[in-house]
Amino acid sequence: MEFTTKRHEIIVPSPPSHPHILTLSNIDQIMPPFYISTLYFFPPSSTSLPSISLTQSLSQALAAFPPAAGRLKPRSNGVGTDVECHNQGAMFVEAHTTITLNCLLTTGKKDVHCRMYQPSPLWDSLAPDPSQEKSLDKPLLFTQMTRLGCGGVVMAVVLHHLVADGFGQAHFTKSWTELARGNPISAHPHLDRTCMQARFPPYSSFEHQEYIVHKSAPSGLFNTATKDLPPTSSRIFEFLPQDIQSLKEQAHSKVGGDDFTGFHVLVAHIWKYVTKAHRVKGSQPIKLGWALEGRNRFNPRLPSNYFGNVVFYGYAEERAEVVVAQPLHDVAMHIRCGTQRITSEYMRSAVDLIAIQSSPALVTGSCLEMPTDLFITSLVNFNAYEMDWGWGPPLFFTPTIPKIHISRGGTVTLLPHSNRRAINALITLFEPQMDALSSDNQFFPISKARL
């Protein structure tokens, strides 16, 4: 399969913004130092959008989102990083290939519309790889348009996590698509990050089990595969509305059952069976962490268009034998309690916990270190199927497959589905655990016959 790069250039903001330094918040500082990479797959369309339209609209989007066109800049005191917004620009790549959309979305005899699907290794060629840029002055945003042999298109948006979280990336992408269609940006970003500053003086009023405060900055926490780790494997599992309803019914079956959301029961279900797949000693502690978007959790609420990181962590820990043996109701209670813990005061306490350390690099997530740890991110509210550059809505959306071990145990990304009530779960584990999980018919597919 041949990929040909037709265009590879830096796109600068137009009009240029006033040069300035954007001070990153404490929460920005502790985000994993890598890029969030997303792919949008479009079928052939009667609309042929020239690449010049994409680059012109990208230039306009960068003018509205100056940090996306900036560069990371270490602070002069050596503690922390900020973004230098001097209109340096973002990377745009145009590639052509003879590969068809059907080929990209099919592995063996299965495609993305099957209930369980192994992502294609061809996806690696559809998005720029920032790690290939050796310069320390590399762009914070990389984009790529790949024109397919069938007339379809794949768009890639790759944004550094220190600049914004998934919500912020979706906001930028939607704004770009609006401009590409000749419309104004519907919601301009809130760029002032003072609302995420620590209190003065900072004080942490809670015990934060979701974080570890190190005596010295850890090294190699986020890196590519190492000699002591087996290769990883990924699968996308499709959970239909009836599957999620079945899990809710199972969780509520206990007398006096509690009211659980789809997130509570699905995360509990995944945690139970990933733990089972690890086949560890029953007394071994198992840790679960999950990312929570905090814009609407603060009191008063942060601006809904805040562009940055507002990511806090839910946390649960239990013995492996308990996680596997407990009914779904009890495991879901861990998720619900861990989520309810994240109040406005709790988040302010977390921000202050980072502020009172000598360096933000001393604070890391506590569920990222052991081979049995599991970390879950939800992009379910990511409005991916509304992203329309001019070809109509995408047929399929996914992040690229992670190459960096954010967790030594495994990662799960809950994804939006073209059926808004369904969820795709992208799960990455070490190969032995994935083999065990994907062959466990109690995990998937979900059937009411076993409830």
pLDDT tens per residue across span 51-85: 788 999 999 999 999 999 999 999 998 889 999 99
Whole-prediction pTM: 0.94
pLDDT tens profile 428-438: 999 999 999 99
pLDDT at 449: 36
Q: What percent of the chain has pLDDT over 70?
A: 92
Decide if pLDDT at 450 tops 50.
Answer: no
Mean pLDDT for the chain? 91
Coil vs helix vs strand at 92 = strand
User: Mean per-residue pLDDT for 354-361?
Assistant: 95
pLDDT at 64: 98
pLDDT at 128: 93
> Which amino acid does the sequence have at 264?
H
What band does 448 get if pLDDT is binned at 50, 70 and 90? very low
pLDDT at 162: 96
pLDDT tens profile 101-127: 999 998 765 666 678 889 998 998 999
Decide if pLDDT at 201 tops 80.
Answer: yes
Decide if pLDDT at 404 tops 80.
Answer: no
What band does 218 get if pLDDT is binned at 50, 70 and 90? confident
pLDDT at 257: 53
Which residue ranges make up each domain of the chain? 3-196, 212-450
pLDDT tens profile 368-392: 777 778 999 999 998 999 999 999 9
- Residue 27's H or E segment, with its range, is helix 26-29
Decide if pLDDT at 341 tops 80.
Answer: yes
User: Mean per-residue pLDDT for 253-280?
Assistant: 87
Name the CATH superfamily housing domain 212-450: Chloramphenicol acetyltransferase-like domain (3.30.559.10)
Burial 74-104 (b: 16+ CB within 10 A, else e): eeeeeeebbbbbbbbbbbbbbbbbebebebb
The DSSP symbol for 401 reads P
What band does 447 get if pLDDT is binned at 50, 70 and 90? low
Give the tokens for residue 196: 């995420």
User: Mean per-residue pLDDT for 268-282?
Assistant: 94
pLDDT at 406: 54
3-196 is classed CATH 3.30.559.10: yes
pLDDT at 220: 61
Lookup result for tokens 């890391």: 364
pLDDT at 405: 56
User: Mean per-residue pLDDT for 229-238?
Assistant: 88
* Burial grade of 22 (CB within 10 A; 0-12, 13-18, 19 or more): buried
User: Mean per-residue pLDDT for 131-137?
Assistant: 77
Helix then strand then coil, in percent of the chain rounded to 5, is 30, 25, 45
CB-based contacts of 194, cutoff 8 Å, min separation 6: none
pLDDT tens profile 32-54: 889 999 999 999 987 777 778 89
Integer angstrom CA distances of residue 9 from 87, 90, 126 = 14, 8, 16
3-196 and 212-450 have identical folds: yes
What band does 408 get if pLDDT is binned at 50, 70 and 90? low
Q: Are 72 and 162 spatial neighbours (Cβ–Cβ below 8 Å)?
A: yes
What band does 425 get if pLDDT is binned at 50, 70 and 90? very high
What band does 451 get if pLDDT is binned at 50, 70 and 90? very low
